[in-house]
Amino acid sequence: MNTTPLPRYRASRVVAAVALGGMLFSGCGPGAEDESGTEPRLVFRLANELQPQDGIWDASALFVEEIEKASPDGRIAAGEIDVVFYDQGMVGTERQLLENVYFGVMEVVQINSSVLSTIDSAFNIFDIAYLFVSDEHNKAVLNGEIGQDMLARLRPHNMVGFAFYPLGFRDMFYKMPSGGCITKPEDLAGLKMRVVESPLFIAGINAMGASATPVPFSELFQALRTGVVDGADNGARIFTATRFYETGANCFTKTEHFTHQHLLVANLDWYESLEPKYQDRIAEVARGIVPEFNRRWEQAQQEAFAEMPTHGVTVNDVDDKEAFMARVQDLPDQFFEQYPDVPRELYERIELLGEQYR
């Protein structure tokens, strides 16, 4: 059996495992002794496609840090659970991670909710433009009863979802047109805006007045620099962490049109094979880190907005967001025509909850 050492988050020791091509070993059983003196009894893998500097990575890192501590109830000692952490796409793209967790090749993964639309079209609903009226509304949906109902939809697909990690709104960044930064939908005319390769993202950007152009994120920097696209949409933290200001993008407009969110997902067969105390602890930690993740993400966003002017980027709000929302008002009806299997009641519940945040 050929073994190869695996990098792990804040590694205090090297964990030997079989390379992924030969099905990495993990699970319950004795392993290397932790610096706490406790021998791990549960060893499993967690993977994401994220970079540490972008802030979204923190959900995985927080989970690893907390799960390896002693549980508050004393049932699990520090070091009793050990996680082998693969980040930065080391074991594949998000779509590949989804397949890996479905088949049990990987125990736990962190992925974008949009990826889950490939197995359940209901997850597409989060991609409807202006679905959420505020960041508070978004969090209330994801961290409340609706979010739990959405996570439950993963069980028939041999997966268990633990929690959502909201990343707030996506805004537009681009090279300033001759008339200055965008303030109304008409200003988008003629602008080629990169979008995620999603029918709903494409429809939303086109409806608002720009020309939606799907481009892989890995190719976006060069596409902006060479003029293949004039701009794109994403969060402030991603904009600064990826240094998109170096492409000539010098406007960042808070259109707040889409939201995006990540979540932690485990293979259901593996999860249900664990002792109840380990099941409880994994779920408890995944949900318990949400407030700290939210705090870190909000701080990262604020720091990103403060940093932008130092790179010559103009940040501007949209005074009349209703004008943009009017452009996409037909999209929900189009959504349910395209995805008749998605219950309209789900959209109505989200919309009704939004009334509390207007």
Same domain, 14 and 91: yes
| Residue 121 is assigned to a structural domain of this protein | no
Tell whether 65 and 205 lie within a shared domain.
Answer: no
Position of tokens 């209330």? 140
Letter for the amino acid at 333?
Answer: D
> Is 120 inside a domain boundary?
no
Q: Is residue 148 part of a domain?
A: yes
Whether 19 maps to a domain, the answer reads yes
CATH of the domain at 337: 3.40.190.170
State the average pLDDT over residues 32-50. 82
Residues 245 and 320 in one domain: yes
Tokens 């960042």 — which residue?
252
First-to-last alpha carbon distance for the chain, in angstroms, is: 60
Taking only the tens place, the pLDDT of each residue in 337-346 is 999 999 999 9
Asked if residue 75 and residue 193 are part of one domain, the reply reads no
Residues 28 and 68 grouped into a single domain: yes
Same domain, 40 and 152: yes
Residue that the structure tokens 């994801």 belong to: 142
252-291 pLDDT, tens per residue?
Answer: 999 999 999 999 999 999 999 999 999 999 999 999 999 9
**275 in a structural domain:** yes
The verdict on residue 38 lying in a domain is: yes
| Helix ranges, 104-164 (H) | 135-142, 145-152
Q: C-alpha angle with apex 126: 66 to 315, nearest 5 degrees?
A: 85
Percent of the chain with pLDDT over 90: 86
The pLDDT of residue 35: 54
Q: Are residues 233 and 341 in the same domain?
A: yes
Rounded CA-CA distance 349/221 in Å is 38
Please check whether residues 198 and 76 belong to one and the same domain: no
9-31 pLDDT, tens digit per residue, is: 333 222 323 234 333 333 444 34
Query: Per the domain annotation, does 131 fall within a domain?
Result: no
pLDDT at 314 over 90: yes
> For residues 16, 21, 22 and 27, what is the CA-based torsion angle, rounded to 10 degrees?
60
pLDDT (0 to 100) of residue 36: 54
Domain shared by 213 and 251, yes or no = yes
Indicate whether 214 and 285 sit together in one domain. Answer: no
Label residue 61 exposed, middle or buried (CB < 10 Å: 0-12, 13-18, 19+).
buried
Mean pLDDT of 172-186: 96
* Whether the predicted pLDDT of 181 surpasses 50: yes
CA 256-260-266 angle, 5° bins:
170
Same domain, 208 and 82: no
Instruction: Tell me the H-state helices in the chain.
Output: 58-67, 94-103, 135-142, 145-152, 199-208, 217-226, 236-241, 268-273, 276-288, 290-307, 321-327, 331-338, 344-354
Entry pTM = 0.87
| Tokens read off for 93 | 């793209």
Q: Domain check: are 254 and 353 in the same one?
A: yes
Please say if the pLDDT value at position 353 is more than 60: yes
- Give a yes or no: residue 129 inside a domain: no
Q: How many domains does the chain have?
A: 2
Q: Which residues span the domain enclosing 191?
A: 170-258+304-357
